Structure 1
Amino acid sequence: MIYSAHHGGAAGRCMACSAPHDGLHVWQVDLDDPHARADDCAQVLDAGERARADRFAFAPLRRRYLAAHAALRGILGLSLGRAPHAIALGTDANGKPCLADAPRPLRFNLSHSAGMALVAVSWRQEVGVDLERWSEPTHLMAMVSRYFSALEKDAFWTLPDEQRVRGFHRWWTLKEACLKATGVGLRFPLDAFSVEFRPQFRPRLLDGPSTMQGLQLWSLDMPGVGWSAALAWAQPPANGVRPSPTVRQWSWQGWRI
């Protein structure tokens, strides 16, 4: 199988087919790329993943699922020097996906929405990523009242009306990224911790349980209007320095079995 990577940025510079072995990296994946052929993607997945894909009632959803999970295996394979089909996945005690066997602990997380996916990988710390295509929540005010913490409600009502949909999705992705980084998922109450989500401020954890202390938050700038994405990782800043994750573009060009 052939796969490649491109560095993010306006120039879109091509990189060699290798992956860095340190730091924190985010890969952006176009799930609707015509080179991401469903049959090719399915061949690198395990039986359980293929069975889940077959349960989708609509072909576009199945195809995107296959592409997202094939890209995840390609990215992990690139990082580990293995073929994508040789990546063995399992789950940890919390049910978070992890590598079943690896010579070094590589952490990762996947999120996909509509025709895009993000894969975060790190050799050093647990990581969570979330991506959302905006929608106009039918019951936005009710969701704010029900799920936001008291601190977050106060912050939300300071937003101008035209910023509230964006603010809501920014809040949602930051919250999801925190829960995915700690491995607890939506079993943990959303109003039991608070994040700074307003666009004019740097994202950060305002308060929360001990399991979340030290989480660093980052909102990703997505191309086009109508997308929000966030990253959370478990690493206190060293000497006051806040690391910046590297963003790369996954390329399906030349993908074949």
Structure 2
Amino acid sequence: MIDFAYQRREAANRVACSHPEDGLHVWQINLDDPHAHADDCAQVLDADERARAERFAFPLLRRRYLAAHAALRGILGCSLGRSPDAIELRTDANGKPCLADVPSPLRFNLSHSAGMALVAVSWRHEVGVDIERWSEPAHLMAMVAHYFSVSEKAAFWSLADEQRVPGFHRWWTLKEACLKATGVGLRFPLDAFCVEFRPQFRPRLLDGPSAMQGLQLWSLDLAGVGWSAALAWADPRGNGARPSPTVRQWSWQGWRI
């Protein structure tokens, strides 16, 4: 019997990957989906990734790692018209993953937290994405004092009490996305640049080094309460006023066809 629903899900994955409307796609991935079988996921990864997965002490963390990296390869594969296990990755001089053997303008970034992951794919410009499950950091006040810039501290303390935990995670994801888009990671001091993270304002870079100028920022709307996510896109032609990119749901049931 032909599973037409299966074929439609697989086709939807491929069409969305291979026909970028604006050069930028974002995918939300459920790492705990029962169709994300660990053995299948492991088969499309390279030897280094499989070795890293084996070092996880807890099976849940191992399974989520395998799912996140298999989904990334699935998304890159259907974006390029290749099978997931044919994708070769390396890291650039800053340690950011990139394609190893494809002469393509494709850029991408992966982030995962708990049972959820995001993959951002851009056809022309560098991109950074971050996702965080809300928690109340034991030392939240100390982190605000240590890592926020002067203006960000003032903005944080202007928030109502009930806005501070989500506000902190909104700030954190925006910062992480900026660092990942520029490829510098957390080696760059968090208080050396400033973002607008208050919920009543559009996210944007307020002040920062030349490498971050031109970044467009978004806080992303995700399915489910208790998550924050952000996207930074290095489009030098943008004015920061574009609509927020649509977050697509990755289907595991057709990902390897």
Normalised by the length of structure 2, the TM-score is: 0.92
The residue identity in structure 2 corresponding to 1:231 is: L
Structure 1 residues 174, 239: closer, same or farther in 2, change over 3 A?
Answer: closer
Structure 1 CA distance for aligned equivalents of residues 201 and 239 of structure 2: 22
Matches within 5 A, 1:1-257: 15=12, 17-18=14-15, 19-22=17-20, 23-238=23-238, 242=242, 244-255=244-255
- Secondary structure of the structure 2 residue equivalent to 1:253: helix
Identity %: 82
Aligned length: 249
Structure 1 CA distance for aligned equivalents of residues 69 and 171 of structure 2: 26
The residue identity in structure 2 corresponding to 1:17 is: R
Deviation sequence 1:162-221 (CA, Å, 0-9, x none): 100000000000000000000000000000000000111100000000010000000001
Gaps of 5+ in 2: 1-5
Structure 1 CA distance for aligned equivalents of residues 129 and 250 of structure 2: 16
Q: CA deviation at 1:235?
A: 1.1
Structure 1 residues 240, 119: closer, same or farther in 2, change over 3 A?
Answer: closer
The residue identity in structure 2 corresponding to 1:65 is: Y
Question: Are the counterparts in 2 of residues 95 and 183 from structure 1 also a CA contact under 8 Å?
Answer: yes
CA RMSD, aligned part only? 2.0
Question: Are the counterparts in 1 of residues 217 and 240 from structure 2 also a CA contact under 8 Å?
Answer: no
The residue identity in structure 1 corresponding to 2:75 is: I
Question: Are the counterparts in 1 of residues 13 and 250 from structure 2 also a CA contact under 8 Å?
Answer: no
Normalised by the length of structure 1, the TM-score is: 0.92
Q: CA deviation at 1:72?
A: 0.1
Q: CA deviation at 1:20?
A: 3.2
More helix by share: 2
Gaps of 5+ in 1: 7-13
The residue identity in structure 1 corresponding to 2:187 is: R
- Secondary structure of the structure 1 residue equivalent to 2:253: coil
Structure 1 CA distance for aligned equivalents of residues 168 and 88 of structure 2: 36
Structure 2 CA distance for aligned equivalents of residues 240 and 190 of structure 1: 21
Structure 2 CA distance for aligned equivalents of residues 239 and 173 of structure 1: 21
- Secondary structure of the structure 1 residue equivalent to 2:211: helix
The residue identity in structure 1 corresponding to 2:68 is: A
- Secondary structure of the structure 2 residue equivalent to 1:15: helix
Residue range with higher mean Cα deviation, 207-216 or 242-251: 242-251
Q: CA deviation at 1:93?
A: 1.1
Question: Are the counterparts in 2 of residues 4 and 252 from structure 1 also a CA contact under 8 Å?
Answer: no
Structure 2 CA distance for aligned equivalents of residues 82 and 212 of structure 1: 32
